[in-house]
Amino acid sequence: MNSGLFQYKIAAFYKFIYLAVEDLAVLRNAIQVAMQERKIVGTVILAVEGINCTVCGSEAAMDGLVGELSEMLASPIEPKYSYSDKPPFRKIDVKIKPEIVTLKREVEIGLGRGTHVSPNEWNEVISDPEVIVLDTRNDYEFKTGTFERAINPGTEKFSELPHYVAENLDPSKHKKVAMFCTGGIRCEKFAPYMRSLGFENVYQLEGGILKYLEEVPAAEQRWRGECYVFDTRVTVDNVLNPGNSSDLSQGE
């Protein structure tokens, strides 16, 4: 991907970090001002459990915002970047919600320690025939592209995934489960959730599909198709350029 060909830099990141409920409105207003000043648009979700963000703007504006957000949170953030010749968002949308990704289950995030697999190790993990490769995304996302050997749970929303696991997977039989999602946030919740159910060998793709496509050379990828993203690009291809798929979330 040649970023110099594109006008807009897109940053996607999340962070599970405790944010006091009484501070959320102040933080929301500060982020809105910072985005307005830099002419940045996109979506930011805040909750007591942390922040989930996908925003875009010029290269300099985005770099400045990332630095300022790190200061606001008193913790460094590490975005995944992609580029586009058109802004994939139309407005500033900073929201406070109960969760930064909605699972509707109590999860101890700390149970996910030791489950992360780097993009460069991922191919080896999913090549193991004993590993169940679980796509934690929704059906329409799966249909635009996925990894070799991946299972489609057929969900319409993330909060349905626990039902799929309860009906189809058994920790006494399925000893190894590797999971992935777009940017990593769903797996950050679902890997510890699986651990809490008794699944022992749980692996999650660190940084998600986007980080994998960024770091693994196209010739070595086990990814097939395009990756659905939640903005006007609809999908990105395997080198993170805007894709060509139609939006299956709106019906075929």
Verdict on whether the full-model pTM lies above 0.85: yes
- Given a cut of 70, whether residue 27 has pLDDT beyond it is yes
CB 186 within 8 A of CB 159: no
pLDDT-based confidence at residue 1 (cuts at 50, 70, 90): low
Q: Which two tokens stand for residue 156?
A: 């319409």
Domains of the chain: 3-96 (3.30.70.100), 109-250 (3.40.250.10)
- 143 burial via Cβ count (<10 Å: 0-12, 13-18, 19+): middle
CB 53 within 8 A of CB 12: yes
Q: CA 53, CA 33: separation in Å to the nearest integer?
A: 15
- Given a cut of 50, whether residue 251 has pLDDT beyond it is no
Lowest mean pLDDT among 95-99, 187-191, 246-250: 246-250
- pLDDT of 168-186, one tens digit each? 999 999 999 999 999 999 9
Q: CA 227, CA 213: separation in Å to the nearest integer?
A: 9
Q: Is 187 a catalytic residue?
A: no
Q: What are phi and psi of 158, to 5 degrees?
A: -60, -35
Higher pLDDT, 242 or 160: 160
Q: CA 181, CA 175: separation in Å to the nearest integer?
A: 20
The proportion of the chain whose per-residue pLDDT surpasses 70, expressed as a percent, equals 96
Tell me what pLDDT residue 42 has.
Answer: 96
Q: CA 183, CA 230: separation in Å to the nearest integer?
A: 11
Q: Which two tokens stand for residue 194?
A: 């699986």
pLDDT-based confidence at residue 4 (cuts at 50, 70, 90): low
Tell me what pLDDT residue 248 has.
Answer: 72
Strands 150-151 and 131-135, how do they pair? parallel
Mean pLDDT, range 190-214, rounded to an integer: 97
Selected catalytic residue, list 53, 56, 181, 187? 181
